[in-house]
Chains A and B, each alone.
Chain A
């Protein structure tokens, strides 16, 4: 199970403030805490700053690498930004993310090759997101095809089937879980990854919903997750869910 620590994300208010005010220590503490808690990658995101994204992301990457040896998960929707910052990383990173959008594929896949990186592929095209399990699996198949035909091993691809609020559509969580199982079965060697917080949007007791969803996803074959590794209850559920699959170490 690969854990990607999600906390250094500019869409979180405290992180945005720390970035804007140059509070290096705050960012470094978040990195250390996630590393100590068992993260395998530290996600770094400055996308909320738009025109200053590159500058801030460089600063974050340098700050984080001073305090942890973990590889980074470079998180930006803009291939140009990723291209400008990727040379700073000490270890082969994960890139978050590609979609079937040609500009993202063309901009990012060569970087995956050059930096021996891994990459998250979202189940979305330029104009639509995979909603049903069948749509998600179909898009996943096209991602596998794009990645492998670029000379990248299938095991470098982490497919994110996308998670939607179950409060708005009661079938959406099932669609994601069904897709995870089908993707792992159909595309041997590929990984699946997802974020958790979207599933509980608009619901009470969100953390409980997130944890329960995670356990279900792991049971269906999910082998990576973007989450807060400092959340002990969440990690407890994750460990137990992995144990139940017989795949723990």
Chain B
């Protein structure tokens, strides 16, 4: 019985049907299933599969976004119950922004949305964020990861400057650093001393979990 409902939920996420996803969540809860079980057995397998399909080139950007939105809506439906039950659906705190001099936001926004759909609390500093502002945010907030995006070859050096500023501010041990963006490579991430690189939004989510030793 519950198996069938879980499968329907997984399918709703895969097909990006947010209304279905929300109503199946409600139905499951009404039947007495715990929010945690619905999340783990219904929603997460769906969003994980979306990730696999996207990485394999079978899903494209629009499918990724529609599924991401369905996931977010379903999680929002369950969230009060998850939090009330003590077992918080909270993967960690993620600080995100586009580096100084760069005003691209589409990729950053997609990563942000996928992280939220996977239980991360995301604080978005926006675009063209100077290193000082990032350091202040890290110092004041209790973030697990800071992820920055640089979409232009000419703004990539700013990612390097940002890491240096974080070190100089004595905050390097406080946070893991991730970097991404079209011209960015693993090699570049290694060179500037970032902890992780991801080539797309799904890799970013996986990397966020692996860097913090958590499981999705």
A positions within 8 Å CB-CB of B: 10-11, 47-48, 50, 77-78, 124, 126-129, 164-165, 167-170, 201-204
Contact = CB atoms under 8 A, between A and B. Distances in A.
A164 B128 contact: no
A47 B110 contact: no
Contacts of B65: 167-168
Contacts of B62: 167, 170, 202-203
Contact of A47 (B64, B154, B157): B154
A10 B183 CA distance: 11
A167 B65 CA distance: 9
B153 A11 contact: yes
Contacts of A128: 103, 127
A50 B61 contact: no
A164 B103 contact: no
Interface string B112-152: 00000000000000011000000000000000000000001
Contacts of A204: 60
Contact of A127 (B60, B64, B128): B128
A39 B109 CA distance: 36
In the A-B complex, the 4 residue pairs with the closest CB atoms: A202-B61, A167-B61, A48-B153, A167-B62
A168 B105 CA distance: 11
A11 B127 CA distance: 22
A165 B106 contact: yes
Nearest to B65: A168
Contacts of A50: 153-154, 157
17 contacts: A11-B153, A77-B154, A127-B127, A129-B103, A129-B104, A165-B106, A167-B61, A167-B62, A168-B65, A168-B106, A168-B109, A169-B106, A170-B62, A201-B61, A202-B61, A202-B62, A203-B62
Contacts of A11: 153, 183
Given A50-B153, A50-B154, A50-B157, A168 B183 contact: no
A124 B103 CA distance: 9
Contact of B154 (A78, A129, A203): A78
B182 to A, nearest CB: 9
A39 B166 CA distance: 47
Contact of A48 (B106, B110, B183): B183
Highest count of chain A CB atoms <10 Å: which of B65, B106, B110, B127: B106
Interface string B42-68: 000000000000000000111011000
A173 B46 CA distance: 30
A4 B162 CA distance: 36
A204 B106 CA distance: 18
Contacts of A77: 152, 154
A218 to B, nearest CB: 25
Nearest to A201: B61
A203 B183 contact: no
Q: Which of B110, B152, B153 has the most CB of A within 10 A?
A: B153
